[in-house]
Amino acid sequence: MMLKPHRLGALLLALSALPVVPSAVAAPAVPAPAPAAPAAAVPAAVPEGHTADQIGRFLVRFYGDHGPSDHDRRHHVSQVLQERQQVNTESDVLLCAQNEPQDIGIGPVTVAQAAGVGWATVTTHWGSDKTDTFTAYVRLDSRPIRIDDVICAG
């Protein structure tokens, strides 16, 4: 039971004792609110950031056939990845490898708007029909578009 201040309790008790009399006079008409505009009439917000198609085209250009160019490594890679490469001199953090692959393929791009990121599986092809994969991530709001992270498969 919730305790109420004495004055409020007394007022509620007095009001509850009043008889309820139906009104013989109709209440004045209150105009109904105007109907809300249909959702289609409201312009939809344009999603900000790169699309899956833009990210896919970027990754194909960025990785090319054998790996990113020096220009792309300087201008289209996050600062975190650039620093990771400086620390890891034994392998290429953008290719998850020690050597240059014979060919590179980019898989379908997935975009998670809520997370603000898009990603694709990158497949590197090596001699003897050997392949390896890793995942390249792109922030949707990066300007210019750039690789934000790379996660090696194993």
Q: Partners of 139 in the beta sheet?
A: 117
Contact 81, 150 (CB under 8 A): yes
Element at 132 (helix H, strand E): strand 130-139
- Which residue type sits at 123? T
Q: What is the pLDDT of residues 88-140, one digit of tens each?
A: 999 999 999 999 999 999 999 999 999 999 999 999 999 888 999 999 999 99
Q: Closest Cα to residue 81, out of 142, 3, 5?
A: 142
Predicted pLDDT at 28 = 52
The residue that leads in pLDDT, 66 or 154, is: 66
Q: What is the pLDDT of residues 21-76, one digit of tens each?
A: 444 444 555 565 665 555 554 444 445 799 999 999 999 999 999 999 999 999 99
Predicted pLDDT at 31 = 60
Predicted pLDDT at 30 = 55
Element at 80 (helix H, strand E): helix 79-87
Does residue 147 register a pLDDT over 90? yes
Does residue 153 register a pLDDT over 60? yes
